[in-house]
Amino acid sequence: MNIFLLNSMCFLPNMIQKNRRLEWCKKMNSIVLTNDYMTLLKSIKSAIQPAHIRAHLAVNKELIILYWHIGNEILNRKKELGWGADVIKTLAQDLKHEFPNIKGFGERNLVYMQTFAGAYPDFQFTQQLAAQIPWFHHCVILDKIKDHALRIWYIEKTIEHGWSRNVLVMQIENQTHLKLGIAQTNFKATLPSPTSDLAQQLIKSEYNLMNIIYSVFILFID
C-alpha cells in the first residue's frame, strides 16, 4: 500500500477527533456565555460554600466534644483515685505510642483538655456553644480570661463576628468587653460567613479536615 495513503488513513481518525473536540468546545463556550449557565454556576457555588463550612464545623464540634470528654475523664479519675499531675505525662506518652500519627494528645494539650472540662462542666453548654469555635481559640480564652461570664462572652462574640485567633487575642487585650458591655444579649448562633476569618481558620487549620476525622473516629474503631 502507498505509504502516503497509509499515513493519511492513520491521520484521518485524529482529524475527525480533533474536529469533534473543536465543535464540542465551541458548543460549551456558547453555553458558558449564557445567563442560564451563569445562574446555574452561581447557584452551585452558593450551595458548596456553606456546605463546606458546615462540614468543618461538624468535625470541629466532634473534636471539641472529644477533648471535653477526655478532660472530664481525667478530672474525675484524679478526684476519685487521688492521682497527681504525673498521670497526664504518662497518658501523653502512652497515647503517642498508641496513636503516633494523631496530633493533639501531647502533655500540654491534655492539660488544656482538663482545664477546658473544668471551666465548662455543663456538657450541654459545650455541645451547643463552645464546640462552635476552634480548639486553639479556647486555649487563648482559657489562658487570658479567668472570669466565667467573660469567657462565655468572648466565645459568643467570636462566633458572632467570625474572629480569627489573632483578632480574638487583640480583642481580649483591648478589653473589648468594657467598651461593648457584657449585658445579657439574645445571642443566636449562625453559620459563619464563608469570607470570615473564623471560617477560613476552620478550613485552613493545622488540623485539616481528614486529620481531624481520623483523630476523632480512630479512637472508637479498635
Q: Which domain holds residue 125?
A: 45-220
Q: How confident is the model at residue 185 (pLDDT cuts 50, 70, 90)?
A: low
SS3 assignment for 206-217: CCCHHHHHHHHH
CA dihedral 195, 214, 210, 63 (to 10 degrees): 0
Q: How confident is the model at residue 24 (pLDDT cuts 50, 70, 90)?
A: low
How many CA atoms within 13 Å lie on the side-chain side of 9? 6
Contacts of 138 (CB under 8 A, 6+ apart): 64, 112, 116, 130
d(C-alpha 89, C-alpha 94), whole Å: 9
Grid coordinates given for 125: 453548654
In a domain? residue 37: no
Grid coordinates given for 142: 482559657
Look up the pTM and report it.
Answer: 0.70
In a domain? residue 169: yes
In a domain? residue 83: yes
Please report the pLDDT score of residue 103 as a whole number: 86
If one compares 161 and 140, the residue with the highest pLDDT of the two is 140
User: What size, in residues, is the chain?
Assistant: 222
100-151 per-position pLDDT tens digit: 888 899 999 999 999 999 999 999 999 999 999 999 999 999 999 999 999 9
In a domain? residue 15: no
Q: What percent of the chain has pLDDT over 90?
A: 46
Grid coordinates given for 104: 493533639
Please report the pLDDT score of residue 89 as a whole number: 94
In a domain? residue 73: yes
In a domain? residue 86: yes
Query: Could you give the number of structural domains in the chain?
Result: 1
Q: How confident is the model at residue 21 (pLDDT cuts 50, 70, 90)?
A: low
Please report the pLDDT score of residue 184 as a whole number: 52
In a domain? residue 8: no
In a domain? residue 23: no
Please report the pLDDT score of residue 188 as a whole number: 55
Please report the pLDDT score of residue 101 as a whole number: 86
